Amino acid sequence: MARETKGPTDRVRRTIEWLKEKGFVDVVTDVQRFVTLGPEGMIAVKNGLPERQIAKIVKSNKGITIPLLRSKSTMSEREFNAALGRAKSLGLIEVEAGGKLLPGSTSDKRLPDEDFLESLASKERRIDELNADEKEVFGRLRNRPGLLELKETKQSLVRLVRLPPGSFEEEKLETVVTPSLIKQSLGRKIAFSKIDVLAPSKPVYPGREHPITRLVREVRNVWVSMGFEEIQGSLVQPSFWVFDALFTPQDHPARDMQDTLYVMGVRSKLNSEEIIDKVRATHENGWKTGSIGWRYKWSRNESERSVLRTHTTALSSRYLAENPDRESRIFSIGRVFRNESLDATHLFEFMQIEGVVSERGATARKLLGYMSEFYKGLGFEDVRFVPTYFPYTEPSFEPQVYSKQLEQWIELGGSGVFRPEVVRPLGVKNNVLAWGFGLERMALLRYGLKDIRDLYSNSLKWLRGVREYP
Amino acid sequence: MGRLSGAPKERLPEILVSLGIHVESETGSTLRLEYDPNRPDYSSDYGIARAIRGKLGIELGLPKHAMKPSGWTVTVDASVKRVRPFIVALLAKNIRLDDEDVRQLIGMQEDLHEGIGRRRKKLAIGLHDAGHLESAIRYTTVDSKFKFVPLGASKEMTVEEVIEKTEQGKKYGGLVSLSKRYPMLMDSRGTVLSMPPIINGSATAVTSSTKTLFVDITGHDLTATENALAIVSETLWDLGGSVQSVRISDGDKARITPDTRPKKCAISVHDVSTLLGVNLPVSKIKDSLLRTRFDAAVKGKKIIASIPRYRVDILHPVDVVEEVGYGFGYENLVPDTDFPYSKGRPSTESGLIDSMRRLVLGLGFQEVVTFTLKSVNTQYVNVGRSDADALKVESSKTKLYEYMRDLLVPGILEVLGNNVHEQYPQRLFEIGSCLRRDHNAETGVNEELKIGGAIAADVTPFSDMKSVVDAIIEKTCGFEATYTGASIPFLLDGRAASIYLQGKEIGYLGEVAPHVLNLFKIKMPVSVFEFSISKLF
């Protein structure tokens, strides 16, 4: 078939396989077994079978003894003994009294074994074509080592069952829909060839959002559904809004270069003088907040350093300063920065989520209520709150959610009521509630990742393969 | 802890959590705890046990002790004023320390040094065996040739040698080495107690046979030293010691330390209900405060709290209200979900970003999210740009990421380079903030929202990318973009263009030069675009 079609055998084989699969052809596989000469058989054809060789020696040395006969033969002792036995039983030789050997009654006749071997010398023979006598000889000789060899060949015979549609002997079928066919199609039936609808397809990759974006969107939806307005702000902020306005003393370790990334070679300009004075007084002596303050000399210079924001609370404090009297529920979702070495559990840049409520009658119990609803919205049914400390809230709580996946409580954020030292200098009279957390923690849980760096490695294998709803 | 606090062992973790102490791990009979930095009084097991005894009602209210004067004095020489001006001290008698006690005291000392001591800058604590000392102590300065035997050394060393050769000298020498005079604490016979804040003398080393303990705390902040001394003092009482006061004679002023008089703070029923959201009667408020080891006196609707002197975290009445919460038990605070209706909404900016993202996703681009901080190679070297105007962060621990990105495309090329074994075509985009120097901006840094994208495939003609840019811009703002040929260091000359919108340059597009692809280890041709979203609106 390969010859006929002038194609590679491999393609022919695959095509037949496909045609067979579709039921267009039948394939009958015929197994044929052949017999041919083995190495010993070839020697036997040339020199005679061992029993014939013995008979020849006896014929030319009549009366020879067995030991003498053995010395004249080139066979091994085992071969010799076997050949001697067969020569005797076939009547090729006879043993006289005194152990002398003489040619036997059949010594001049050709053996059927010899004929059979001779016939193989010219061509191999199909076993199923041997006649009854030959089969007997074959049965005998195949047990003697090396005389015969067996071969098997498989032959596939292809028989046409029916012709595939569109093939040369049927009416012409269309292969693709074309504009001109569409034009001609009214009132006319056009036949199309069938295609293999089960054949595997080539992968394509949809344009997909990054999993972090997806989570951000989910979280944003929860905030919005709870009546919160989103606020936005710059990544680089004056230290004043990141630290001072949040009552973080200027010698606080969080302000060290060890923990915080300052921008080299630039400084901030502060312009809300009234608030600056109040913040300064609050740090130094508590101002009118009722606090004793941190009791040190506050430096404006320090508050003018430009810093990559370490939290999004900086945005909240600015919002409160601009809207001190407004009852508001706001949230922000954005990048924050810490001076960390990148490893499996630390990023120097990550996403923080924060919500702030400024309203009359806001209390710690309300805070816990807001948070319960919020975490439920994110799919965490079980939430508990453990008292803790944060520099700018009092009291402060650490929300913990129960992960069914990990079967344990995990910390997911921080929260509290802003200290009066934070909100009073901004002109806010309400209690202000705040809570937030790092998105990556939730992302690791969601996507079953162990190494936090994987979230930002942008491996296309992951981005293309990750499930929409893992 | 069980023995010290009287708490049943199995309830300890739960009690600790209710006190705001984090149980990090539990192995056998050992609990690893983490306390918050506002509670330096938790720097020893004794401090934590004191709080537990209150919580369980085993002991209530202020710990009360009758402190006698020791008759010991510290005379402060005027020369210390410019070096390390303040000192406070105490004497503790009847001390019996086992090895565990010594370990606890040293642990506390180290925690106080690191925390409220700001790595010994604000304060440093010296613990001394007073057995070998005269009761008249001098706090003075010496020059660099002064000799004494520092703790851990076998022979005399000069001050200079201590700073240059000892481990503590190398670590803390910087705190005093600006001056030519060095602080030194010695008794009237010249026995050196310590060279604050660096190292103690060997003559006064504390051992398990120490019976009388002299404690000095020196520093730059008198309040901080007094705070730390109050914590040490209370711990020594807990250890079974009898703390006595020391007279500090400082020029014409004299102080008696430790000052353990409690400060007062008044709160009302209203303060508690408006902050915590629970209406507690005065009796309950009083009881709660007693359990946190405060004293409380009721005056009508007011409660006058007496704050233990070792509680250095109380700045404002809200801190006292928080204590009421602890005494009441935050586990008993029921969430209040009765909120009024309000209308929520996403910011305009995220609305814009979302709609633009949907467009680009619709064009078959995969979103990537990379860091704002980039390596110099990615952002400048590989793309043939000068970093002369680059914005860098100071002292980054992750040296590879020190540069704030001003363009998105270099980061996208880096992503392509990391994904050369994935199927092509690869169509990527990113939306993110880019930063550059701007003297007119509030922080000296201008921030701009940009979108960038790349197509890597067998063929990526300029015109394909131009179709993409045309589509995004026209669909988002309704105007058609215009173009002029441009020369951009990482794009092929003659195959790069600037993008304009109503006469304003907003970005660029083009085919990436092969040598740039090579530097990013990309083996396929790439076309890119990038423009400012901020400038679109």
Torsional class of A76: left (φ above 0), alpha (ψ -120 to 50), beta (otherwise)? beta
Question: What CATH number is attached to the domain comprising A284?
Answer: 3.30.930.10
- Two tokens at B366? 């995969």
Please tell me the distance in Å from B522's CA to the nearest CA on chain A.
14
Evaluate whether B210 touches B129 at the Cβ level (below 8 Å).
Answer: yes
Whether B523 contacts chain A with CB within 8 A: no
CB contact (8 A) between residue B419 and residue A348: no
Is residue A149 assigned to a domain? yes
User: Residue A46's pLDDT is what?
Assistant: 86
User: Residue A102's pLDDT is what?
Assistant: 86
Is residue A199 assigned to a domain? no
Whether A107 contacts chain B with CB within 8 A: no
Cα separation, B215 vs B258, whole angstroms: 10
| A330 plus A281 within the same structural domain | yes
CB contact (8 A) between residue B396 and residue A458: no
Structurally, how many domains does chain A consist of? 3
Please tell me the distance in Å from B314's CA to the nearest CA on chain A.
9
Interface mutation vs chain B, best among A236, A336, A381, A430, most B CBs within 10 Å? A236
User: Residue B536's pLDDT is what?
Assistant: 86
- Name the residue of chain B whose CA is nearest to A388's CA: B20
User: Residue A427's pLDDT is what?
Assistant: 96
| A125 plus A246 within the same structural domain | no
| A242 plus A289 within the same structural domain | yes
Cα separation, B60 vs B38, whole angstroms: 22
Is residue A31 assigned to a domain? no
User: Residue B53's pLDDT is what?
Assistant: 94
Instruction: Tell me which residue of B363, B371, B357, B473 sits closest to B412, measured CA to CA.
Output: B371
Is residue A191 assigned to a domain? no
Whether A346 contacts chain B with CB within 8 A: no
Whether B326 contacts chain A with CB within 8 A: yes
B359 in helix, strand or coil? Answer: helix
B2-55 and B68-257: identical CATH topology = no
Class of domain B68-257: alpha beta
Interface mutation vs chain B, best among A232, A460, A461, A463, most B CBs within 10 Å? A460
User: Residue B407's pLDDT is what?
Assistant: 97
- Name the residue of chain A whose CA is nearest to B356's CA: A209
Is residue A470 assigned to a domain? no
Q: CB-based contacts of A443: which residues, under 8 Å, 6+ apart?
A: A211, A212, A215, A449, A455
Cα separation, A365 vs A357, whole angstroms: 13
| A221 plus A102 within the same structural domain | no
With cut-offs at 50, 70 and 90, classify the pLDDT of residue B391. very high
Amino acid sitting at position A432: V
Query: B-chain residues within 8 Å CB-CB of A224?
Result: 344-346
Is residue A196 assigned to a domain? no
CB contact (8 A) between residue B366 and residue A208: yes
Compute CA B383 distance to the chain's CA centroid, rounded to the nearest angstrom.
37
Is residue A194 assigned to a domain? no
Largest CA distance in chain B: 92
In chain B, what are the domain boundaries? 2-55, 68-257, 263-332, 348-536
| A98 plus A175 within the same structural domain | no
| A344 plus A237 within the same structural domain | yes
User: Residue A399's pLDDT is what?
Assistant: 95
Query: B-chain residues within 8 Å CB-CB of A387?
Result: 18-20, 325-326, 330
CB contact (8 A) between residue B422 and residue A464: yes
Question: What CATH number is attached to the domain comprising A59?
Answer: 1.10.10
| A409 plus A336 within the same structural domain | yes
* Burial A201-217, CB ≥16 within 10 A → b, else e: eeeebebbbbbbbbbbe
Query: A-chain residues within 8 Å CB-CB of B446?
Result: none
Instruction: Tell me which residue of A300, A302, A297 sits closest to A285, measured CA to CA.
Output: A297
pLDDT tens, residue by residue, A413-462: 999 999 999 999 999 999 999 999 999 999 998 899 999 999 999 999 99
pLDDT tens, residue by residue, B116-173: 998 898 999 999 999 989 999 999 999 999 999 999 899 999 999 999 999 999 999 8
Angle at A211 between CA A208 and CA A213, to 5 degrees: 85
With cut-offs at 50, 70 and 90, classify the pLDDT of residue B178. low
User: Residue A170's pLDDT is what?
Assistant: 52
The partner residue sitting opposite A268, judged by closest CB among B277, B433, B443, is B443
CB contact (8 A) between residue A365 and residue B278: yes
Per CATH, the number for B348-536 is 3.30.930.10
Angle at A292 between CA A287 and CA A297, to 5 degrees: 70
Please tell me the distance in Å from A255's CA to the nearest CA on chain B.
12
| A284 plus A431 within the same structural domain | yes
Please tell me the distance in Å from A1's CA to the nearest CA on chain B.
37
Evaluate whether B182 touches B140 at the Cβ level (below 8 Å).
Answer: no
Whether A466 contacts chain B with CB within 8 A: no
Give the domain-ending residue among A184, A199, A227.
A184
Whether A261 contacts chain B with CB within 8 A: yes
User: Residue A463's pLDDT is what?
Assistant: 97
With cut-offs at 50, 70 and 90, classify the pLDDT of residue B276. very high
- Name the residue of chain B whose CA is nearest to A287's CA: B316
- Encode chain A (470 residues) as per-residue pLDDT tens digits: 888 888 788 888 888 888 888 888 888 888 888 898 988 888 888 888 888 888 888 888 888 888 888 888 888 888 888 888 888 888 888 888 777 888 888 888 888 888 888 888 888 888 888 888 888 888 888 888 888 988 888 878 888 887 776 655 556 788 889 998 898 888 888 888 888 888 888 889 999 999 999 999 999 999 999 999 999 999 999 999 999 999 999 988 889 888 999 999 999 999 889 999 999 999 999 999 999 999 999 999 999 999 999 999 999 999 999 999 999 999 999 999 999 999 999 999 999 999 999 999 999 999 999 999 999 999 999 999 999 999 899 999 999 999 888 888 999 999 999 999 999 999 999 999 999 999 999 999 889 999 999 999 999 999 999 998 77
User: Residue A123's pLDDT is what?
Assistant: 85
- Two tokens at A195? 């295609």
- Residue B104's φ and ψ, nearest 5 degrees, are -60, -45
- Residue B90's φ and ψ, nearest 5 degrees, are -150, 165
ipTM of the prediction: 0.90
Query: B-chain residues within 8 Å CB-CB of A271?
Result: 442
| A145 plus A239 within the same structural domain | no
Whether A298 contacts chain B with CB within 8 A: no
User: Residue A171's pLDDT is what?
Assistant: 62
B504 in helix, strand or coil? Answer: strand
Whether B268 contacts chain A with CB within 8 A: no
User: Residue A136's pLDDT is what?
Assistant: 87
Instruction: Tell me which residue of B221, B226, B223, B294 sits closest to B258, measured CA to CA.
Output: B226
Q: Which of residues 52-91 of B touch A (CB under 8 A)?
A: none
Evaluate whether B231 touches B187 at the Cβ level (below 8 Å).
Answer: no
Interface mutation vs chain A, best among B116, B288, B369, most A CBs within 10 Å? B369
- Two tokens at A350? 């990550």
Query: B-chain residues within 8 Å CB-CB of A225?
Result: 344
Evaluate whether B218 touches B124 at the Cβ level (below 8 Å).
Answer: yes
CB contact (8 A) between residue A206 and residue B364: yes
| A266 plus A175 within the same structural domain | no
The partner residue sitting opposite A368, judged by closest CB among B274, B335, B392, is B335
pLDDT tens, residue by residue, B492-509: 999 999 999 999 999 999
Return the bridge partners of A236, or none: A308
* Average pLDDT score, chain B: 93
| A263 plus A397 within the same structural domain | yes
CB contact (8 A) between residue B372 and residue A207: no
The partner residue sitting opposite B20, judged by closest CB among A208, A388, A461, is A388
Whether A355 contacts chain B with CB within 8 A: no
Q: How far apart are the first and last CA of chain A?
A: 52
The DSSP letter of residue B450 is E
Residue B331's Cβ-side half-sphere holds a number of Cα atoms within 13 Å equal to 7
Tell me the fold of B2-55. Answer: Phenylalanyl-tRNA Synthetase; Chain B, domain 1 (3.30.56)
Q: What is the residue range of A168's domain?
A: 1-24+161-184
- Name the residue of chain A whose CA is nearest to B121's CA: A251
- Residue B350's φ and ψ, nearest 5 degrees, are -70, -25
Query: B-chain residues within 8 Å CB-CB of A388?
Result: 20, 22, 36
Q: CB-based contacts of A213: which residues, under 8 Å, 6+ apart?
A: B357, B367, B369
User: Residue A168's pLDDT is what?
Assistant: 53
pLDDT tens, residue by residue, B235-265: 999 999 999 999 999 988 999 999 989 999 9
Q: Which CATH number fits domain B263-332: 1.10.3720.10, 3.30.56.10, 3.20.20.60, 3.40.50.10170?
A: 3.30.56.10
| A325 plus A419 within the same structural domain | yes
CB contact (8 A) between residue A460 and residue B419: yes
CB contact (8 A) between residue A209 and residue B401: no
Interface mutation vs chain A, best among B42, B393, B402, B406, most A CBs within 10 Å? B393
Whether A360 contacts chain B with CB within 8 A: no
